[in-house]
Amino acid sequence: MKRPQTQVAVLQAADAQEDRRIDEVADEADCKPEAATRAAFELEADGLLTVTEETVSHYELTEEGERYVRESLPEQDLYAAATDAGAKEGPVQMGQVIGASGLEGAAVDIALSNYARKAYGEIDSGEITANPDADPGADPEMLALEAVADGRVDDADADALDQLERRGLVDVREETVRSVRLTDDGVTALMEGVEVAETVDQLTPELLTSGEWEDVEFTEYNVEADAEDVRHGKEHILRQTANRVKDTLVGMGFQEMEGPHADAQFWINDCLFMPQDHPARTHWDQFALERPDEIRDLPEDLVERVRSAHREGVGPDGEGYHSPWTEDVARGMDLRGHTTSLSMRYLSGHQVGDLEPPQRYFSVEKVYRNDTLDPTHLLEFFQIEGWVMAEDLSVRDLMGTFTEFYEQFGITDIEFKPHYNPYTEPSFELFGTHPETGEIVEVGNSGIFRDEVLTPLGVECDVMAWGLSLERLLMLMYGFEDIRDVHGTLCDLELLRETEVMH
Amino acid sequence: MPVVDVDPEELRYLTGHDEKDDEELKSDLFDLGLEFEGLTEDDEFQLEFAPDRLDRLSVEGVARSLRYHYGDDRGVYVPSTNSADWTIEVEDQPEERPYVTGAVVRGLDMSEEALESLIQLQEKLHATMGRKRAKGAIGVHDLTMLKGAAATEGEGKSITYTSADPDEATFVPLDADAEMTPNEVVASHETGQTYGDLVADFDRVPAIYDAIGLFSFPPVINGHRTEVSEDSRDLFIEMTGTDQWTIDRMCAIVCYALEARGGRVERVAVEYADDAPGEYAGRTLERPDFAVRTKTVTHDRIESILGVSLDEREVVDYAERAGLDATPTTGDDAAYEVEIPPYRVDVIHPLDLIDDIGRALGFNSLEPVYPDVSTVGGRHDRSRLEDAARDALVGLGFEDLLNFHMINEAENFERMNLSVPDDGDGSDAGTVGLDEPVTIQEPYSEDYTILRTWALPSIMMVLENNTHRSYPQDLAEIGLAAGLDDSENTGVAEHRTVAGALARTDASYEDAKARLQALADAFDTDLSTPSTTHPTFIDGRAAEVVLDGESVGVVGEIHPTVLVEHDLELPVAAFELRLDGLA
């Protein structure tokens, strides 16, 4: 038979003839009492050992008890004083007796109550008698107290011990003492020979399938030691942010848009009622393409309506711009400077067919701006774009929608600062409180699309829209200082690996 | 966004609010949308604002807006003008710059501040409405230095807007002390060099003459003779451009500013010759154009845009506080005739008036409401597919990357051991990464000149920039790649590409294929990998990625040439395939 080391030692230390206390066994087995106890129970479960338990009471004198042993009990002092005063013959004045006894304070009460209990005499109306038959010299409580003090608890009267415990003169502590004794099987096993089982580091398939695991002992590990670094793949932090935004918007009833990154200026600028000589339409702001330089087909009727909106305006009192407008410019290809080009494609009905109100659409996609690369500006970044199409939308609806959206990201107290965009009126810059620093920061741009945008597209109800940069949201939420560390080929892998996941 | 420098002392003087301290002024200006950006060297406020209210490009204009804001002024104000004494005769002017406008302003006390403000207004209008002087350019002259010729009609005096031979005509330009021809100005005068491009294609250049001779060469520079100084009392303003409306509006803005300084505006007749180029041949215009435009706004539209109920009295009140005048119409539908002052270049539709009413009411006083509109949300198929593929790659242990779609040809091709594809000969068709690239016109940075045709070059760059970080580096990206494609309406074929690379001391073809196999299995597609050659990969260790019978990518061990080029000292196994191959 093979047993783990501790079990073998406990088995060998146990005796078949008499119970042996576990602490003695542990001493002999050279292990801790807890380990010996655990081994004993395991051996008992296998029938090799019996374990018996008994409760032992330990008595100890309290401080008060120790003092009485050295001196005497207060009631004994009182009896002696009363006797001296002649109380055996008849009642004497109590004050006189107490004064003579030398008792003071709490000791007086203790003396009086026990005096009466033990029938040393009677106390009545300020007078005291002493019972001539009493024998304070042989007081059982005093004897028991002395027995405890001398370690002779077994000699002490049990009632007296209880009384001492009640009087707070001794403390009683109970202890479970386990003892073991070899069973016949245990004896047999020892006679047949018990070997120490090997300890193993690794639980192997062989150990499991062979059943050997039952006989092995596992080496103890330092479970507090550092483990090796494990690398896990992780979704890019900006993708996580994008997905969080997408989840939020889908939850608010928005459908996702999709469309070309390289697109005609028509969809990027002209549909948005950006005049063709607008300063932001130069190549310094948007990337114009060399190849291809022109889109092949634009919807003719829409081109005509957009041209008319630019040149003549929309509605009886619309003026349009006093800027040149040519289809050639509109056909020019750019990398989109905003994803509002997608909104134009969708609203025009050319992307997914004509849309009937109400509709909500969004995208979280890349846009391209010809700007200087610096810690907060990239040539490419993600724009969150969203719009709501419905009858009779007001600026209050716009405020309510965006307040709700930003609250999902911990940005509350959104302020709406009236602003100007060529494509929306009224327009608002959105400001919110930075969740970390408490600063007021710009968090987006919004507005209600102008008639000059919607009428050419064939939209007859209201559409409100807004946009913001995803990177800005990320920087607000996570406090990144240099966006180039995460986005682009200059990214630092260590930073990506260590960045907390979004939850 | 335009920035205007404004002296707070001037603001107090022009608004008549001496009691306002700087902080109060800043706060009032913020309410108008003029943000305090800092102080200039002369302790003037630098104010930034959205480019709609170009009438606020001067301290006079800002002060006017404040007076409306304070309620000191209400409704439309139009300065009175005296009848025309001067005529601008227009004949033989360049057809590329056919329009001119003007005004005379008399009786000014040109303090240093007033002169500075005028110069600033001129510069800012040039930069904005004037489109860097191409669309409109302003010339301001000391009237006393002009000698008018007798006008063709009537008693008055005239100057002439015409054209001149750039090598013949001469004048002494500003900041010069010798006669120069227009071509000499363009060649050697500092201002001429800046604005010379505007007339580079002109056979004959724009020129303005009086009885003495050439005194202005618009849109480049004025003559020295008529230069305005602090001693000037009477000014002649001329503006030339490519659009009459635009220069007339610019002129109105300048005249309003000078009128606020105590000037008296006098009209100028602009007399286009019968054969003059442009839309106004044979017509005489009285300028400045201070005509008040009107637009009709319905009460319903005001209420529906603002989301509040208003009564007629409130609408009229808000309009007046915005410097407009609203008169209820007498028709069946509740509506207003709204009068718009001539300096309001931004009002081009009734909606713009509703915005003004909203601002006067205070948008931030409105209570937000969540629109009672029910729609069903959802993701686009492509975006869901992309996310699922990304999850699978992340599960395989790849670090997900996000790189720029723009790159340059060296990174995209040459450093990957590919040659830049030739124009359209099709010989490279089918080789992953070898599409002809979409190219950017006049790129700002030489690092970003094309759209990437594949994503592995971006991943190689990340490996190159992270050689100091611990290995293995298993990197993946799903993102845009694009190439020229005549069959597309835009001429660009865009697709999402899936790229992965394993950089580790023992990276092998098998490591890459194993992960590719797992990815293919995850999408229940059948992977086969017939041998291929690709210059980026080692021969004999490269294969096509064929999913469900369609070739969608490439897998293999990166060629040592490419590794060394990227300063890598360990092998890299990689794959790249079209995302739609997994669909």
- What secondary structure does DSSP assign to A81-110, as a single string? HHHHTTTTTS-EEHHHHHHHHT--THHHHH
Task: Fill in the DSSP letter of residue B562.
Answer: H
- Confidence grade of residue B78 (pLDDT, cut at 50, 70, 90): very high
A-B CB pairs within 8 A amount to 272
From the list A253, A368, A494, the residue facing B374 with the nearest CB is A253
The verdict on a CB contact (< 8 Å) between B402 and A239 is: yes
CATH number, domain at A30?
1.10.10.10
Q: Which of A229, A210, A252, A211 is nearest to A409 (CA)?
A: A252
Of A233, A246, A462, the CB nearest to B474: A233
B346 is in an annotated binding site: yes
Residue A459 lies in a domain: yes
Q: Tell me whether B366 touches chain A (CB under 8 Å).
A: yes
pTM of the model: 0.79
Using the Cβ of A254 and the Cβ atoms of chain B, whether some distance falls under 8 Å is answered with yes
Q: How many CB atoms lie within 10 A of CB B464?
A: 16
C-alpha to C-alpha distance for A398 and A406, rounded to whole angstroms? 12
Q: Which residue of A has its CA nearest to B471?
A: A231
Query: Are A66 and A143 in the same domain?
Result: yes
pLDDT digits (tens, 9 = 90+) for B317-366: 999 999 999 999 987 789 999 999 999 999 999 999 999 999 999 998 99
Helix, coil or strand: residue A502: coil
Going residue by residue through chain A, which has 503 residues, state the pLDDT in tens, using 9 for 90 and above: 778 788 888 888 999 898 999 888 889 888 888 888 888 988 898 899 999 988 888 888 898 888 888 888 888 888 888 888 888 888 888 888 888 888 888 888 888 888 888 888 888 878 888 888 888 888 888 888 888 888 888 888 888 888 888 888 888 888 888 999 999 998 998 888 888 877 777 888 988 998 888 878 787 777 887 888 888 899 999 999 999 999 999 999 999 999 999 999 999 999 999 999 887 777 567 899 999 999 999 999 999 999 999 999 999 999 999 999 999 999 999 999 999 999 999 999 999 999 999 999 999 999 998 877 777 778 899 999 999 999 999 999 999 998 999 888 888 888 888 999 999 999 999 988 777 777 778 888 999 999 999 999 999 999 999 998 888 888 777 777 777 777 888 888 888 888 888 77
Percent of chain B whose pLDDT exceeds 70: 98
> Dihedral of CA B509/B510/B514/B517: which sign?
positive
| pLDDT tens-digit series, residues B512-537 | 999 999 999 999 999 999 999 999 99
Q: Which two tokens stand for residue A136?
A: 């304070």
CB contact under 8 A, A394 and B307: yes
Say if residue A399 is in the same domain as residue A334: yes
Residue with tokens 């291929």: B532
Comparing alpha-carbon positions, the chain B residue that sits nearest to A331 is B490
Shared-domain flag, residues A187 and A208: no
Contacts of B429 (CB under 8 A, 6+ apart): none
- Which position has the higher pLDDT, B169 or A231? B169
CB contact under 8 A, A294 and B491: yes
> In chain B, what residues touch A418 (CB-CB under 8 Å)?
33, 355, 358-359, 363
B310 contact A CB<8A = no
How are strands ordered across the β-sheet holding A20-21?
A20-21, A170-182, A49-61
Stretch B54-63: mean pLDDT, rounded? 95
Residues A259, A260, A261, A266, CA torsion sign: negative
Number of domains observed in the structure of chain A: 4
Q: How far is B474 from chain A (nearest CA, A)?
A: 8
| A419·B50 Cβ contact <8 A | yes
Check whether B356 is labelled as a binding-site residue: yes
DSSP helix, strand, coil percent of chain B (3-state; round to 5): 30, 30, 40
**Two tokens, residue B119:** 């110069």
Asked if residue A465 belongs to a domain, the reply is yes
A251 Cα to chain B: minimum distance (Å): 6
- Residues of A with CB below 8 A from B398's CB? 233
**What is the SS3 assignment for A503?**
coil
Put simply, the answer to whether A489 touches B402 (Cβ < 8 Å) is no
Gap between the Cα atoms of A185 and A47, Å rounded: 7
| Beta carbons of A261 and A336 less than 8 angstroms apart | yes
Chain A residues in contact with B380 (beta carbon < 8 A) = 255-258
Query: Per the annotation, does B73 bind a ligand?
Result: no
Query: What CA–CA distance (Å, rounded) separates A189 from A95?
Result: 77
Contacts of A262 in chain B (CB under 8 A): 438, 451, 482, 490, 492, 494
Segment among A423-437, B228-242, B284-298, B483-497 with least mean pLDDT: A423-437
pLDDT at B429: 59
Q: Does B428 score more than 70 pLDDT?
A: no
CA A177 to chain centre: 42
N residues, chain B: 583
Distance from CA of A29 to the nearest CA of B (A): 50
Phi, psi values for residue B362, rounded to 5°: 95, 95
Give me the mean pLDDT over the B25-35 stretch.
90
AA letter at B197: D
Residue A232: inside a domain: no
How much is the pLDDT for A284? 60
Same domain, A144 and A272: no
Residue A267 Cα, gap to closest chain B Cα (Å): 11
Do A140 and A213 belong together in one domain?
no
CA distance B161 to chain A (A): 22
Spatial separation of the C-alpha atoms in residues A345 and A353, rounded to whole Å: 10
Residue B173's nearest CA partner among B156, B152, B196 is B196
Helix (H) / strand (E) containing A407: helix A395-407
Asked if residue A418 is part of any domain, the answer here is yes
Indicate which of A322, A392, A487 best probes the interface with B, i.e. most B CBs within 10 Å of its own CB. Answer: A322
Question: Does residue B124 sit in helix, strand or coil?
Answer: helix
A349 and A491 fall within a common domain: yes
For an interface test with A, which of B363, B374, B408, B442 has the most A Cβ atoms less than 10 Å from its Cβ? B363
Q: Which of A243, A285, A291 to mutate to test the interface with B (most CBs of B within 10 A)?
A: A291
* Residue in A391, A403, A493 to test binding to B, most B beta-carbons within 10 Å: A493
For chain B, say whether A309 makes contact (Cβ under 8 Å).
no
A342 and A204 share one domain? no
Q: A202: burial class by Cβ within 10 Å (0-12, 13-18, 19+)?
A: exposed
pLDDT at B74: 96
Q: What is the CATH number of the domain that holds A483?
A: 3.30.930.10
| Residue A288 with chain B: CB contacts under 8 Å | 440-442
**Residue B491 with chain A: CB contacts under 8 Å:** 291-292, 294-296, 333
Q: From CA A364, how far away is CA A478, in angstroms rounded?
A: 18
Integer-rounded Cα radius of gyration of chain B: 34
Q: How distant is the Cα of A466 from the closest Cα of chain B, in angstroms?
A: 15
B462: which chain A residues are within 8 Å (Cβ-Cβ)? 489, 491, 493
Q: Using CB atoms and an 8 Å cut-off, which of residues 445-464 of chain A contact chain B? A: 448, 450-452, 462
A230 lies in some domain: no
DSSP state of A270: I
Residue in chain A closest to B391 (alpha carbons) equals A235
Residue with tokens 């040809």, as numbered in its chain: B409
Through-space distance between the first and last CA atoms of chain A, rounded to whole angstroms: 55
| CA A497 – CA A235 distance, rounded (Å) | 10
Q: How far apart are CA B496 and CA B407, in angstroms?
A: 16
- Shortest distance between the Cα of B435 and any Cα of chain A, in A, equals 13
The answer to whether A374 contacts chain B (CB < 8 Å) is: no
* Residue of B438, B445, B477 to mutate when probing chain A, most A C-beta within 10 A: B438
Specify whether A394 is located in the same domain as A435.
yes
| Neighbouring-strand partners of residue B106 | B264
Domain assignment of residue A45, yes or no = yes
Measured between CB atoms, does A300 come within 8 Å of chain B? no
CA distances from A241 to A469, A470, A497 (A): 11, 8, 16
Looking at the fold, whether A291 and A412 belong to one and the same domain comes out as yes
Do residue A492 and residue B366 have CB atoms under 8 angstroms apart? Answer: no
**Separation in Å, CA of B464 to nearest CA in chain A:** 9
A329 and A436 share one domain: yes
Q: Is A231 a member of any domain? A: no
Please provide the size of chain A in residues: 503
Q: What is the pLDDT of residues B373-423, one digit of tens each?
A: 999 999 999 999 999 999 999 999 999 999 999 999 999 999 999 998 876
Give the other-Cβ count within 10 Å of B490's Cβ.
Answer: 22
Helices (H), B322-371: 350-361
- Residue B458 touches partner A, C-beta closer than 8 Å: yes
Query: Which among B354, B370, B441 has CB closest to A289?
Result: B441
Candidates B416, B454, B458; CA nearest to B438 is B454
Q: Does A403 touch chain B (CB under 8 A)?
A: yes
Do A185 and A220 lie in a common domain?
no
Amino acid at B67: R
Q: Which residues of A touch B359 (CB under 8 A)?
A: 418
3-state DSSP call for residue B107? coil
Give the whole-angstrom CA distance, residue B152 versus residue B307: 58
* Subunit contact A360:B355, Cβ cutoff 8 A: no
CB atoms within 10 A of CB B201: 7
* Res A161: pLDDT: 86
Q: Inform me whether the pLDDT recorded for B556 exceeds 80.
A: yes
Q: Which residues of A touch B395 (CB under 8 A)?
A: 233
Q: Would you tell me how many other CB atoms lie within 10 Å of the CB of residue A245?
A: 22
Q: Give pLDDT, residue A98.
A: 85
Which residues 336-365 on chain A approach chain B with CB closer than 8 angstroms?
358-360
Range 376-395 of B in CB contact (< 8 A) with A: 376-380, 382-383, 387, 390-391, 393-395
Choose the mutation target among A396, A406, A446 for the interface with B, i.e. most B CBs under 10 Å: A396
Alpha-helix runs per DSSP H in A253-339: 265, 300-312, 327-331
Q: Which domain holds residue A134?
A: 61-169
Q: Is residue A376 part of a domain?
A: yes
Task: Decide if A200 touches B, using CB distance below 8 A.
Answer: no
- Could you tell me if A44 and A147 lie in one domain? no
Q: What angle do CA A488, A490, A494 make, to 5 degrees?
A: 105
Amino acid at A190: L
Gyration radius from chain A CA atoms: 48
In which element (H, E) is residue B335 found?
Answer: strand B335-340
Closest to B461 (Cα-Cα) out of B352, B567, B334 = B567
